[in-house]
Structure formats: structure tokens, C-alpha cells
Amino acid sequence: MDASESRPKSSLCFPRLAFALSVVLVVLGLFANPEGWKIFLGPHHHGVESKLYPFLDMHGRLAAFEAHRLGIDILRQPNPLDPLQRTNVKPTWPLHLTFLGLGLGHLAIAGFVTVVGFLAIIVAVIRPRRWIEMLCLTPVVLSPPVLLGIERANDDLVYLILLSAIVPLLSLKTRLRFWLAWAVVFLLAPAKYYPGAAFAVFLLEVREPRQLLLLFLAGVAFLGLYLGFNYEEVIYLKDAVPQPTMFLCHGAELLGDLIGASGLFSTFYLLILAVLAAWVVFRPGGGELKEVEGARWYLLGYSVFLFCFILNSNYDYRMVYILLMMPLLLSLWRMGKASVRSKLAALMVISLIPAVWIEMLLTHYALGTTGWMLEHTWLSLVVKNTILAVFLAGATVFAAELLRPNLRRLWSELRKPAST
């Protein structure tokens, strides 16, 4: 047993309290003194005099609602109500909510609710029990990718809040819990596509192949109807969705481009992860992860982030989904120094610190000395994306170990009719 586990429980709350206070106070301090954003975001913070602060991305969402009510085709022409006059490069499914009357007059309250809701989930889910955990997690949560999402009240924070409902829904003592969680996944999937990856959580929960098949077929039917009514929009967005390649961005294909292995790199990387996962699931013997804290949160964050990392290059605020993986990684870290799992989990958590900070540290260094050059961009992106690729390999091992008992059980059930 880890030494920290033998301490009185009353002492275990102080690292968590310090973590929560640090996160909340820093965010409050930044909104109270906006120039402080430059420490964390550098040139990505536009300044308080600009119409771009605060809540730039929420401003764009609310402007989209207002323009949609006015009959403006924001999917194919610039939105005149948006501060950057951006076109809507997202599915128009959420715009059906225009009947709620949301508009630019709700910017402050919508941004406030988003930021508070996100922070509430993070400090509730992430519970460091040791000071070393608190010291490692605080710079990850208060990192440029996360704070960029907070400063802009980005869409991904909203979807993280909504997807987080899956975990308590699956904890309900009713068979309807699967269908309630299914509704969250598939009502959000047409809004930004990647929430559909959260369906992987059901692989941890469903015990009967028939039930899993019903949930899957219902999802296919729902998305098939969506595609039937929105085919042209989906094809248009396929090419219109931005693929960031310069600042505060990540993705497997981006890493391939950076190291001169563009084209098939993301496919090759995905194949490696698939083989690794299959080996963990179907290898003979091997231990199982039993009663580990945060399994549902882990699979939710892992499935969504992996999907985004493989499918496209992303702005770094999408790394907020990694935060949902922390409870399980912390639980494994506490297993003790002799455990391979503990060492791997500790390494994965610690490796996130350079991953989320290297770009901004190089930015401050460059701006204070020689000035920013493309070499700094290349170096920071290669280091960050390489760490994330290795991180996801380790994360895949743990995800496969979590799913191993249920996948083997489902596989065994599927083979029964053929053997009788």
C-alpha cells in the first residue's frame, strides 16, 4: 500500500482543496486582471479593448443564432454579426435551438455559465490526494490549451459539460440508463460529430451482445436519418472544417506532416494502437483493472480525444478531454512504486506538463530574445504532438485493460450459438 493511503483521511483533502482553490482563484484573477492572460496565452490574447474579449467563441455561437433567425446563410457567407465575420464551419444542427431566443445579449451570462460549469466538473472529477499529484495537475489544468478554451468560452467546454452527463446517467439503477446515455451521445453527435466517439463507454457497461447491438443500430439509424436530410451540408463541411497547422494545435496527421511522413501517418498510427489494444484484450492470462476509480470518466475522455487526434488537426483547447482521464490515472499512480501500471500512469500525467507548456514557453523566450521564428513553431509542435502520441499509446493500454473483461465476455456470448 502506498504510504499516503495509510494517512488519516482528514489529511487527504488538503491537496484537493489547494488544487481547487488554485484553479478557481487563478481563473478569477485572470478575468479580474485581463493583462494576465498574456502570461498563459501570449499573442493569442487580444486585449480588453478589442471586441474579441471576453468569450470570443461564445460570441460567435450566439451571433450564429441571431444571424440564423435573420435568415442569413452563415454556412456559406461571413456572419456580419460575428466580431471576426466568420462563416459557420460547424453543423447547423444546434441552430435549431434558435427558438430559445439566444443572442448576443446573452454573451456575459452564457460565457459565465460555461466557464463555471466547466470548472465545477473539473474540480469535482479531479481529486488529488497527495501533494505531488496536486503539483503535477495544477499546471496541466492551468495550461494554455485549457485557459484558451476558458478565455473564449469555447464550444468544446460546452460539449464537455453536456457529455459529462453520461457518467451520472450510467450510474442510475434502471435499464433505461443505457438509452438515456445513448440520447446524450447521439443528440450531440450531429452537432459536432466527435461526441459520437463517446459510444465507446457502452463497451464498459453493456453485458449482453443483443443490447449493445440494439444501441448501435439505433445510433446508425439516427445518424442515417440525419445524413439523409443533411447530406449536402456534411459534404460541404468535410472540406470547410479548419485544419490548424501553426499555433496551439495538435493531431496525428499534423505530426506526420511535421516529420515528413504525411499522408498515411495517422492511418499507420491508428493501426499500431488497434494492434496494441487487441493484444491487451485477447492475450492469454494477464491481470484486470478491478474497482479502479474513474473508469467511465477515463473512457469518455479517451475515446473523444483519440477520435479527434486521429481524425483531424485540432486547436489545443480540445485537449480539455484529457482532463477527464485524470481520476483513473491518479488511482493507478497510487498503486505503488513496484507496479508497472503505477509507473506508466505517473509518467503519463507528468509528461502532459511539457506537452501543454512547451509552445508558450518557447513563445515567451522567442519574443524576449531573437523574435519568433518558424523553427520555434516546428520544434514546439513536434515535441508536443510526439508526447501526445506516446501518451495515447499508454492510454490505449489502460483503456483496453478496462474493457478487457467485458469485451471477452461479449465475445464469448457471441460464439456460443456457433459452438452449440
Q: Which three cell numbers stand for residue 123?
A: 474540480
Q: How far is CA 331 from CA 293, 344, 345, 352, in A?
A: 6, 12, 9, 17
Cross-strand pairs, 363: none
Q: What's the pLDDT at 243?
A: 84
Q: What's the pLDDT at 291?
A: 66
CB atoms within 10 A of CB 178: 19
Q: What's the pLDDT at 13?
A: 84
Q: What's the pLDDT at 126?
A: 96
Q: What's the pLDDT at 415?
A: 74
Eight-state DSSP code of residue 61: H
Q: Which three cell numbers stand for residue 284?
A: 492469454
Residue ranges of the chain with pLDDT lower than 50?
1-11, 419-420
Q: What's the pLDDT at 85?
A: 92
Q: Look at the pTM and tell me if it is higher than 0.95.
A: no
Q: What's the pLDDT at 374?
A: 67
Q: What's the pLDDT at 40?
A: 94
Q: What's the pLDDT at 61?
A: 95
Q: How far is CA 359 from CA 246, 346, 391, in A?
A: 11, 22, 17
Q: Name the residue ranges covered by the structural domains of the chain.
A: 3-419
Q: What's the pLDDT at 370?
A: 64
